Amino acid sequence: AVSLAMVPEAVSFSFVAGVNPLVGLWTTVVLGFFAALFGGRAGIQSSASGACSVVVAALCASHGSGYLAGCAALAGLLQITSG
C-alpha cells in the first residue's frame, strides 16, 4: 500500500525536477528495491523529498538529466558514510 502512494509523489517530483515522469517512476522502483534489500528501521525514510527535487531541478536545468543518476548515487554514498 505504501508503494502505491509513492507513484503520484514520484511523478509530481519528476515534473518539479524537469525530467520525464518515467525517470521518477523507475527511480522509485530502484529505491524500493534497495530499501527492501538492505532492510530498514522505523526511523529510516525511503522516499523522495521535495527538497531533493528542488536541488535536482537546478542540476538538470544546468547540466541535463544525464547527471541525475550520478547525483543520486553520490547522495546515497554520502548518507552511508555519514551514518
pTM of the model: 0.57
Residues 21-52: tens digit of each pLDDT: 888 788 777 777 777 777 666 555 556 666 67
Task: Provide mean pLDDT across the span 1-9.
Answer: 71
**pLDDT on residue 41:** 63
Which three cell numbers, joined as nine digits, stand for 49? 523529498
How high does pLDDT run on average in the chain?
A: 75
Residue 63 φ/ψ, nearest 5 degrees: -120, -10
**pLDDT on residue 49:** 62
